[in-house]
Structure 1
Amino acid sequence: MKTFLKALVLVPVAILAIAFAVANRQVVSISFDPFSSGDPVFVLAAPLFLLVFFLLTCGVVIGGVASWLGQGRYRSAARRATAEARDARVENARLRTELDIQSRQNREAARLAGASSGPLPALELHDAH
């Protein structure tokens, strides 16, 4: 389904781009010297469609870079959340192991207490004064 939707969008765009390129094959002069239009220092002669495609590509790249830079804080927050989740999983595993050890010790103590014949001795509390 995703491939079909891509084709549904890209095929008409490609047809329009090809039609634009065929219709605008004439060579245009591009000058980067605003002060001497009669004898510019640097002139680039290229088909109009190449200029338009180049500028569109530059716009897409600049927009992508701007978007990537703008979303840096979200990527940073995602990395931080991933690290915190990893630390929480490690802590959870450590606590589960500790709980298992305590449970075994409690069961063993209960078994030993149940095996003794008499009551447990009372603790004497002495005043420290």
Structure 2
Amino acid sequence: MLNRIVIVLVFVPLAIVLIALAVANRAATPFTLDPFHPGNPGLTVEMPLFVYLFAALVIGLFVGSFVTWFRQRRYRRIARERSQEMERLRAAERQKGSALAPTDG
């Protein structure tokens, strides 16, 4: 139920805004990678402005995700070390428990 509310209250208006943005920015816009010779056709791409905007959004999402993942490596390492230590302690406890168990015979 909460998922449906989030979709209706957040994603539907966001989709409407993005669609309106795409419709309003349909004109072809040149994008050049050569700032000194902006008329160079080899380094100039002409697409609608909303394509550039959406591409910037996607690239920003990927860069932000990568930076977040990279900054959390310390916490993942600590969690992995603690998990390995817990497994080692459990194995030692099982071994100790089996050594103390009475044997039939």
TM over 0.5: yes
Structure 2: which amino acid aligns with 1:76? Answer: R
Q: Could you tell me which runs of 5 or more consecutive residues in structure 1 were left unpaired when the two chains were aligned.
A: 105-129
Identify unmatched segments of 5+ residues in structure 2: none
State the alpha-carbon separation in 1 of the partners of residues 17 and 83 from structure 2. Answer: 44
RMSD over equivalenced CA pairs, Å = 1.7
Which secondary structure does the structure 2 equivalent of 1:34 belong to?
coil
1:5 Cα deviation after fit: 3.9
Corresponding position of 2:6:
6
1:49 and 2:43 correspond: no
Shift in CA distance, 78/2, structure 1 to aligned 2, threshold 3 Å: farther
Q: Which has the higher contact order (CA 8 A, sep 6+)?
A: 2
Q: Which has the higher helix share?
A: 2
Displacement over 3 Å in runs of 4+: none
Q: Aligned partners of 2:44, 2:89: CA distance in 1, in Å?
A: 62
Identity %: 34
The reply on whether 1:22 has 2:23 as its aligned counterpart is yes
Q: For this pair of structures, how many residues does the alignment match?
A: 102
Query: Normalising by the residue count of structure 2, what TM-score does the alignment of the two structures yield?
Result: 0.87
